């Protein structure tokens, strides 16, 4: 990595964001259909290299027509032109040691923004992986040429709802343009369908593991290591909640309440709530998944609050976007992650009003028309 003091003297003129090639290595989930799927890796160095993440990031003051301006930006630094960008205009600089580097603009940031290298996130994962037998890296990737970076470690630990199992992962993600905080949280991945859900939606880990890119970031990042030991207890707490959801039967009132809150209706000029065709189609897709119950892989889940949660995560990870990169960014960083988190919170709250499942009985699928939803048959927008 170049000396930052030297790098700050580099004149950057007319910098702009350049969209780059997404890269990915590891397990391929529902939304992992982008970049190079190379294989499965267990060591920090191997997965960083495979996912093309072995680059540092620097913050530089920008200049206009030779004069510094009160604008700063972040740049990825590569020792050679990254694959796929050979014909791009990337600024090449030579430092005092004679080494040449290539700089590519990632995004504008504030003067007080402090770069946290994404490799620090991998260092924290190493702290955990070294303490749990069988834990290993499984995925890593970047979006928008390194503006967004993530990795996941399989903790070699499962939670169960009856015979239905979910693998538990430690997920790290960050941005290098100030749009996202440095985050580490737990994720569950259901084995039967590879749907994902954020366990940290319970707010227990996220409150302590969330780090902003500020002047005190280095100290706060090192403090996170003490929190990682609580991960297994948090996962078991989630297991208890999912088991409880599997014992609650969805009623038409609860279904309507949950869907209205997840997908609010718009109001017309007379303040009357009306549904749109797009909203109706979304609900039709989710409730079709709810009705199918994953092909009855676990018949005892039919009609339960747990099955309803799975239908929302299934829709989000598999159907919500037809574009692979859109699903990836949404599921890890954006609105898809928020939708699944909101669904979990809403269903947990509404399940308090749901009746218990009869012992030995299966749930009863809700009739959509009876629920007053008037859903159309599934059709494309």
Query: What tens digit of pLDDT does each residue of 23-38 get?
Result: 656 655 544 444 444 4
Query: Which of 76-90, 170-184, 277-291 has the highest mean predicted lDDT (pLDDT)?
Result: 277-291
Q: Cβ contacts of residue 221 below 8 Å, gap of 6+?
A: 116, 120, 124, 182, 211
Of the residues 109, 143, 166, the one at which a domain ends: 109
Indicate whether 66 and 164 sit together in one domain. no
Q: What is the pLDDT of residue 180?
A: 81
Bridging pattern class, strands 164-175 and 100-109: unpaired
Cα–Cα nearest to 364, from 249, 285, 244, 284: 249
Q: Which SS3 state, helix, strand or coil, does residue 295 take?
A: helix
Q: Predicted confidence band at 347 (pLDDT cuts at 50, 70, 90)?
A: very high
- N-to-C CA span, the chain: 49
Weakest mean pLDDT among 77-91, 165-179, 239-253, 319-333: 319-333
Indicate whether 205 and 297 sit together in one domain. no
Cα–Cα nearest to 11, from 56, 57, 66: 66
- Compute the average pLDDT of residues 213-228: 61
Higher pLDDT, 106 or 144: 106
Q: What is the pLDDT of residue 330?
A: 58
Indicate whether 128 and 102 sit together in one domain. no
Q: What is the pLDDT of residue 199?
A: 81
217: enclosing H helix or E strand: helix 217-223
Q: Which residue has the tokens 């007080």?
A: 112
Indicate whether 267 and 215 sit together in one domain. no
Q: Predicted confidence band at 239 (pLDDT cuts at 50, 70, 90)?
A: very high
Residue 378 is assigned to a structural domain of this protein: no
Indicate whether 147 and 193 sit together in one domain. yes
Query: Which of 18-22, 44-48, 370-374 has the highest mean predicted lDDT (pLDDT)?
Result: 44-48
Residue 371 is assigned to a structural domain of this protein: no
Residue 60 is assigned to a structural domain of this protein: yes
Indicate whether 220 and 311 sit together in one domain. no
Tokens coding 147: 């503006």
Range of 262's domain?
A: 246-353
Higher pLDDT, 144 or 249: 249
Q: What is the pLDDT of residue 137?
A: 83
Q: Cβ contacts of residue 97 below 8 Å, gap of 6+?
A: none
Q: Predicted confidence band at 338 (pLDDT cuts at 50, 70, 90)?
A: confident
Residue 377 is assigned to a structural domain of this protein: no
Indicate whether 224 and 250 sit together in one domain. no
Weakest mean pLDDT among 216-220, 258-262, 329-333: 329-333
Residue 376 is assigned to a structural domain of this protein: no
Residue 359 is assigned to a structural domain of this protein: no
Residue 90 is assigned to a structural domain of this protein: yes
Indicate whether 259 and 162 sit together in one domain. no
Q: Which SS3 state, helix, strand or coil, does residue 215 take?
A: coil
- How many folded domains does the chain comprise? 3
Four-residue CA torsion sign, 150, 154, 155, 160: positive
203 close to 230: Cβ distance less than 8 angstroms: no
Indicate whether 104 and 22 sit together in one domain. yes
Q: What is the pLDDT of residue 205?
A: 43
pLDDT of 131 strictly over 90: no
Indicate whether 257 and 206 sit together in one domain. no
pLDDT digit string (tens) for 272-327?
Answer: 788 888 888 999 999 999 999 998 999 999 999 999 999 999 998 888 765 555 55
pLDDT of 350 strictly over 90: yes
Of the residues 109, 128, 147, the one at which a domain ends: 109
Indicate whether 126 and 219 sit together in one domain. yes
Q: What is the pLDDT of residue 359?
A: 55
Residue 367 is assigned to a structural domain of this protein: no
Indicate whether 86 and 144 sit together in one domain. no
């Amino acid at each position: 990595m170049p000396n930052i003091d030297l790098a700050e003297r580099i004149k950057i003129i007319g910098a702009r964001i350049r969209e780059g090639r997404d890269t990915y290595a590891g397990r391929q989930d529902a939304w992992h259909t982008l970049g190079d799927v190379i294989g499965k890796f267990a060591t920090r160095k191997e997965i960083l290299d495979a996912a093309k993440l072995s680059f540092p990031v620097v913050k530089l003051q920008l200049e206009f027509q030779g004069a510094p301006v009160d604008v700063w930006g972040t740049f990825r630094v590569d020792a050679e032109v990254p694959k796929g960008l050979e014909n791009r205009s990337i600024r090449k600089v030579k430092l005092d040691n004679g080494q040449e580097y290539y700089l590519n603009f990632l995004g504008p940031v504030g003067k007080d923004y402090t770069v946290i290298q994404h490799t620090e996130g991998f260092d924290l994962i190493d702290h955990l992986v070294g303490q749990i037998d069988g834990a290993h890296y499984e995925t890593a990737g970047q979006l928008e040429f390194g503006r967004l970076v993530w990795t996941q470690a399989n903790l070699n630990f499962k939670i169960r709802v009856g015979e239905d199992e979910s693998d538990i992962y430690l997920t790290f993600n960050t941005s290098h343009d100030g749009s996202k905080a440095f985050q580490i949280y737990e994720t569950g991945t259901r084995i039967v369908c590879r749907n994902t859900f954020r366990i940290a939606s319970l707010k227990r880990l996220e409150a302590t593991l969330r780090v902003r890119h500020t002047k005190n970031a280095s100290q706060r990042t090192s403090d996170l290591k003490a929190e990682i030991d609580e991960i297994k207890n948090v996962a078991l707490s989630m297991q208890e909640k999912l088991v409880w959801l599997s014992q609650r039967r969805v009623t038409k009132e609860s279904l309507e309440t949950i869907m209205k809150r997840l997908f609010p209706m718009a109001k017309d000029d007379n303040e009357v709530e009306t549904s749109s065709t797009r909203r109706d189609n979304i609900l039709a897709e989710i409730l079709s998944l709810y009705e199918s119950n994953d092909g009855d892989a676990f018949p005892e889940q039919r009609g339960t609050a747990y099955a309803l949660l799975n239908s929302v995560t299934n829709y989000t990870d598999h159907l919500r976007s037809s574009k692979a990169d859109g699903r990836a960014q949404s599921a890890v960083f954006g609105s898809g992650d928020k939708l699944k988190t909101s669904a979990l919170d809403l269903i947990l709250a509404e399940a308090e009003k749901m009746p218990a499942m009869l012992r030995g009985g299966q749930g009863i699928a809700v009739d959509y028309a009876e629920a007053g939803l008037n859903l159309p048959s599934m059709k494309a927008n």
